[in-house]
Amino acid sequence: MELPYQERLPVPLLAACFNNTSASYKFYWFLGILNRLEQGETTILKRHLFAEMTAQAWYTVNYFKVSFGKQDKLHEAIERIKGIEILPIDMDRDTIFKRLTQTTNKSTLSELSYFNGEVPHRFLSPWFRTGDKQVVYQSSQCFENDCMYALYLEYIELNPAWIGYLTYHSRILKNFCYWNLAVYLQNRNPNVPDLPNKLIKLPVRKALTTQRKFWDLVIIELGSVDCIYTNKPLFIGNYSVEHFLPYAFVSHDLMWNLIPANKSFNSSKSDKLPPLDRYFEPFFKLQK
pLDDT band for 161, please (50, 70, 90 cuts): very high
**pLDDT (mean) for 52-77:** 93
pLDDT band for 267, please (50, 70, 90 cuts): low
**pLDDT (mean) for 56-61:** 94
Among 27-36, 59-68, 261-270, whose mean pLDDT is lowest?
Answer: 261-270
Model pTM score: 0.85
pLDDT band for 269, please (50, 70, 90 cuts): low
**pLDDT (mean) for 28-43:** 98
211-251 tens-digit pLDDT: 999 999 999 999 989 999 999 999 998 899 999 998 888 88
pLDDT at 2: 84
Q: Is the pLDDT of residue 198 over 70?
A: yes
Q: Is the pLDDT of residue 265 over 90?
A: no
Q: How far apart are CA 223 and CA 241, in angstroms?
A: 17
Cβ contacts of 244 within 8 Å, gap of 6 or more? 257, 258, 259, 274, 279, 283
Highest mean pLDDT among 18-22, 158-162, 191-195, 257-261: 158-162
Residue in 74, 66, 59, 60 with CA at minimum distance from that of residue 23: 74
114-153 tens-digit pLDDT: 999 989 999 999 999 888 999 999 999 999 999 999 999 9
Q: How far apart are CA 50 and CA 31, in angstroms?
A: 11
